[in-house]
Structure 1
Amino acid sequence: MTPRDDSADNDGRWSDLDRPPLNAGALRRALVRDGGLWSGVEVVRSTGSTNADLVALAGKEGGVDEGAVLIAEEQTAGRGRLDRQWTAPARSGLFFSVLLKPTDVPVARWGWLPLLTGVAVATGLSRAAGVDTSLKWPNDLLVSVGGAERKAGGILAERAGADAVVIGIGINVTLREDELPVPTAGSLALAGAVGTDRDPLLRAVLRALEQWYGRWRAAGGDPVASGLQETYAAGCATLGRTVRAELPGDRSVVGEAVAVDGDGRLVLATGEGVQEPVGAGDVVHLRPA
């Protein structure tokens, strides 16, 4: 897998001593193994978007193996859902993308991949950072900062040809209050994380993702048999709340989020007594559960 920039391993010339670079060699030794999902781990100092880079690599002749992981110490053109910009200081978070090829799962069930990733990220961070996390549908990572709900991470899934999906993950780790891009943003440090060393955090997230992806594939992508639907619902902060869903075509729906259905859609119970599934769009939490 290219490009490769291992200079991040031993470069001592960082400006913030609280934000050392990732150790690509140590990450490879910990994650890449025979029979495992992760086939390669590369760290670059800076790039526009790890998702864009990995999608481009997947499209080249010879492609790239499933389980490729591309990490950037800094993203200059990172994107969230709905093409929102994701910016953060260098080495202040985890900004990475992974390539998955679930060819043994019906394509109709691939829509569960970003939700599966959200479960894995929340699981890994809870274990490694000791921070209570929850998920805002479809896949914002929420933490509590001073009793207020803040977004500390997000997930973006993109198709890469006919047989692959690239999933991008951004997590704010050590952002300070004065560095937040918007007042509603947060970070693991601001949420009281017991540890903010990015190497063990990344390992925990990728190991949890490997476990959940394996369970889901073994069940043929069935969200019930794999336990994914139940686990996602248990950790979803959107359920039980009144929300407004901003839908394509400048349409919006207000209702109580009552379920996540078998296709991963959010089901809203509207004031007219109608249950409307929402498969795409932006969701705003209007009041607590």
Structure 2
Amino acid sequence: MTPHNASGPSRWSDLDRPPLDATALRRGLLHEGGLWTSVDVVQRTGSTNSDLVARAGAAEEGAVLVAEEQTAGRGRLDRRWTAPPRSGLFFSVLLRPAEVPLERWGWLPLLTGVAVATGLSRAAGVDTALKWPNDLLVTVGGEERKAGGILAERAGEDGVVVGVGLNVTLRADELPVPQAGSLALADAVSTDRDTLLRSVLRSLETWYDRWRSAGGDPVTSTLQETYAAGCATLGRQVRAELPGDRALVGEAVAIDGDGRLVVATAEGTREAVGAGDIVHLRPA
């Protein structure tokens, strides 16, 4: 029988999905001189990004906010992101890259993608590909599926909140759309969310420190090269849905120094896309 309490289902009602251990996460992530300064886990919220942006004025750099359930999670273009409680990782971090020129801050979502993919490779044994600019792809039954996304938002004059949503134990019958995936469906060797979150945040700390130490230079920090190596969009025929109802079709050939996607068209032109929706038209 599923245990219930007066306020609804118990936090232990799905034993395949135990709650995160906030104390253990703090013990594993907070240390003198490290990036992470606080780790808070809430049972339920609308959006960790919205919450952290709202409290950014009083928060230190390195604040981490994690939700067991998000009811109004947002992706790019204000798309909704919802999943069952404790079925994924839904978290946001506050960064203040004062040493980095503002024009290089656009690399932060791409840096986060590299960090998440690196952390998941270590902890989950899953090969995560990056779809420009901020989707996390896994392979399920030989097919690429979206398992997560990244959203960066300005927080005041000197801050950026970066949010990550990742499907971990989502089952096939729980997928929001058939094209979605999860680490479990991609045969991850571990779906322990505590382990995965620690690995991803340690990887993010390493990459952020490297990028910041290089003044945000994507070449010196090796970020541009590493992102390109893990980017599933490069080498593909794509359609870029651009602002102003314009579309651009061609081959995605490079990531430029500003983190933009360079598309080569059949007419022989090259255009750098800085914002827009990218559709993969055929396999690489």
TM-score bracket for the superposition, by shorter chain length: over 0.9
Structure 1 segment 68-217 matched on structure 2, within 5 A: 68-217=63-212
Match of 1:7 in 2: none
The reply to whether residue 25 of structure 1 matches residue 23 of structure 2 is: yes
One-letter amino acid of the structure 1 residue matched with residue 242 of structure 2 = L
In 1: Cα distance, 2:277 partner to 2:13 partner: 37
In 1: Cα distance, 2:260 partner to 2:278 partner: 12
Shift of 1:13: 3.7
In 1: Cα distance, 2:133 partner to 2:266 partner: 22
Match of 2:54 in 1: 56
One-letter amino acid of the structure 1 residue matched with residue 111 of structure 2 = L
2:38–2:63 contact (8 Å) kept in structure 1: yes
Aligned-pair Cα RMSD in Å: 0.9
If the length of structure 1 is used for normalisation, what is the TM-score?
Answer: 0.95
In 2: Cα distance, 1:32 partner to 1:282 partner: 37
In 2: Cα distance, 1:82 partner to 1:121 partner: 21
Deviations along 1:214-268, one digit per CA (max 9) or x if unpaired, are 0000100000000000000000000000000001111110010000000000000
Gaps of 5+ in 1: 1-10
Gaps of 5+ in 2: 1-8
The count of residues paired between Structure 1 and Structure 2 equals: 276
Shift of 1:139: 1.1
One-letter amino acid of the structure 2 residue matched with residue 103 of structure 1 = A
Percent identical residues: 80
Deviations along 1:202-225, one digit per CA (max 9) or x if unpaired, are 000000000000000010000000
One-letter amino acid of the structure 2 residue matched with residue 285 of structure 1 = H
Match of 2:232 in 1: 237
**Secondary structure of residue in 1 paired with 2:121:** helix
In 1: Cα distance, 2:216 partner to 2:105 partner: 8
1:35 to 29, 33, 36: 33
Shift of 1:12: 6.9
Shift of 1:14: 2.0
One-letter amino acid of the structure 2 residue matched with residue 163 of structure 1 = D
Shift of 1:17: 0.4
In 2: Cα distance, 1:116 partner to 1:226 partner: 10
2:138–2:145 contact (8 Å) kept in structure 1: yes
One-letter amino acid of the structure 1 residue matched with residue 88 of structure 2 = G
In 2: Cα distance, 1:279 partner to 1:13 partner: 42
One-letter amino acid of the structure 2 residue matched with residue 46 of structure 1 = R
One-letter amino acid of the structure 1 residue matched with residue 83 of structure 2 = A
Deviations along 1:22-53, one digit per CA (max 9) or x if unpaired, are 00000000000100000000000000000000
Shift of 1:19: 0.1
In 1: Cα distance, 2:13 partner to 2:136 partner: 28
In 1: Cα distance, 2:182 partner to 2:22 partner: 23
2:135–2:149 contact (8 Å) kept in structure 1: yes
